[in-house]
Structure 1
Amino acid sequence: MIPIIILMTGVAYLCGSLSSAVVICKLYGLADPRTAGSKNPGTTNVYRLGGRIPALLVLVMDILKGTVPVYCSYWLGLEPVALGFVAIAACLGHIFPLYFGFKGGKAVATAFGAMLPVGPELAGLTILSWLAALFVWGYSSLAAIIAVILAPFYTYFIKPDYTLPVAMLALLIIVRHKANILRLFSGQEPRVWDKRGKLKNSN
C-alpha cells in the first residue's frame, strides 16, 4: 500500500501544479494573474481581470485538481490519513506549481475539491458557510478561512473517520492566508465587490 500512497501523492502534486488561472488567462488573452491584480493566480483575481466566464473555468479546474486524485486514491483503498496526504499534495502543487516557477495561489478551491469525496453534505455545508460569510462581510479571504475552520466540525458529524484529513487541509489553507489575515486586522483587505482598479490584494 505504501508504493500506492507515494504514487498517488506524486500524481496529486503534479495535478495540482497545473495552474488553472495562468492557463485560462493565456487562452483568453488576459494579463498574467501572477503579476497583475492581486498577483494571486486564483479565481477571485481572474474574476477581476477577465470576468465571470474565465473565473468560472478556473474555479472548476482548480476543484477538479483536488477531487480527481483524492477520489482515485479513495477507490484504490487508501486509508483516511493517507487520503489526507494526497489532498495536501494536490494543494501544495497549486501553491508551489512545478510547471510555473513554484509561484501559485491559495489552494482554497483545490482544498474544497479534495474534500468532495467525503460527501455532498460536507460540500454543501462548506459552500453555504462561504457564501454566508461573504454576504455578511464581503471578504473572499475571510469567507474561505471561516469555511475551512468549520469544515472539520462538519466532517466530524458526517464521516468522523475523515476529520483528521480535513483538519490537515484546513490548517494548510489558514497558514496560506497569513497575509490576508494580517490585512484583515489592519483594515487593508479589499472586498470582492470593490472596483477592480482599486483592488490590490485578495484571496
Structure 2
Amino acid sequence: MFAKIAWLALAYLAGSFPFGLFIAQAARGIDPRTAGSRNIGATNVSRLCGTKLGVLTLVLDALKGLLPVAVAWQMSCGGFYPGLVALAAVAGHMFPVFLHYKGGKGVATTIGAFLALSVPATLVSVGLCIAAIAISGFVSLGSLLLAVSLPFTVWWFGPGSVVPVTFAVSGLVVWKHRENIERLRQGTEKPWKKKKED
C-alpha cells in the first residue's frame, strides 16, 4: 500500500516537470508563460519556438503520463489503480508544484497516460482530435473533442474499471480549456496557422 501511495506522489511530481518551459527557455530564451497563449504546452511552444521543439515538448509531456501508468500496471493487476496514477500525472501537469500550481492544459499527458491504459480507445480519440484540427484549424477544438470522447471510447474498448477516472480527467481538460471555449463561442479563437491571404 505504501508503495502505491508513493508512486501516486511520484506520478504527480513527474507530471509537474515543465518540459515546455525548459525547452523554450533553453532553445530560444523565451518564457512561454509570458508569450503567445501564455501556456507551457506543446501548442504554444510550437508557435513560439518552431514545430520541432513543439513536437519534442509533446512527446516529453506524453511520456510524463505514459511511463508512470505503465509502471503502475506492474504494481496492480486491476485497472483502477493505474487510472488513479494517470489522474495524478495529468493533475501534475495542470497544477505543477514547481510552477506554483499554474501549468498546462494536460492534453499531451492525457494522451500518454491513456495510451498506457487503453491503446485502441486513445487512438480513436486522438484520431477524432486530429480530424477536428484538420477541418477547423483549431487545436483547442480538437483537444476538447479528444477529452469529451475519451470516456466513451474507454467505456467501449475497456478497461471498464478506469471509466470513472476517465470522466474526471476529461472534466479537468475541458475546465482547463474554458477560456478557449469562450473564444470559440465569440469567434476570436486563433487558428493553428493563419490562412494565406489571397
- Which string of whole-angstrom CA distances, capped at 9 and with x for unpartnered residues, describes residues 41-84 of structure 1? 11110111011111011001100001111111111016333322
Cα offset for 1:8?
Answer: 1.5
Query: Number of aligned pairs?
Result: 194
2:23 and 2:99 map into 1 onto residues whose CA distance is 14
Q: How far apart are the structure 2 equivalents of 1:29 and 1:137? A: 29
For normalisation by structure 2, the TM-score amounts to 0.92
Deviation of 1:132 after TM superposition, in Å, equals 0.7
1:1-203 matched pairs, under 5 angstroms: 1=1, 3-77=2-76, 79-159=78-158, 160-194=160-194
Name stretches of at least 5 consecutive residues in structure 1 with no aligned partner.
196-203
State the distance in 2 between where 1:176 and 1:81 align.
24
The higher-RCO structure (CA 8 Å, 6+ apart) is: 1
CA contact (8 A) 1:83 1:165 kept: no
Give SS of 2:154's match: helix
The percent identity for this pair of structures is: 35
CA distance, structure 2, for counterparts of residue 103 and residue 157 of structure 1 = 33
| Post-superposition CA distance 1:141-191 (Å, at most 9, x none) | 111111111111111121133322222211111111111111111111111
Q: Which runs of 4+ in 1 moved over 6 A?
A: none
CA–CA distance in 2 between the matches of 1:71 and 1:56?
Answer: 22
Offset of 1:30 from its aligned partner? Answer: 3.5
CA contact (8 A) 2:32 2:40 kept: yes
Q: Is the 8 A contact 2:76 2:82 kept in 1?
A: no
Q: Which amino acid aligns with 2:113?
A: A
Cα distance in 1 for partners of 2:130, 2:153 equals: 16
Amino acid at match of 2:138: Y
User: Which moved further from structure 2: 137-146 or 115-124?
Assistant: 115-124
TM-score normalised by structure 1 residue count: 0.89
Q: How far apart, in 2, do the equivalents of 1:77 and 1:84 lie?
A: 11
Q: State the distance in 2 between where 1:90 and 1:118 align.
A: 13
Change (3 A) 1:30 1:97: same
- Of 48-57 and 90-99, deviating more is 90-99
- RMSD, aligned CA: 1.5
How far has the Cα of 1:124 moved from its partner? 1.7
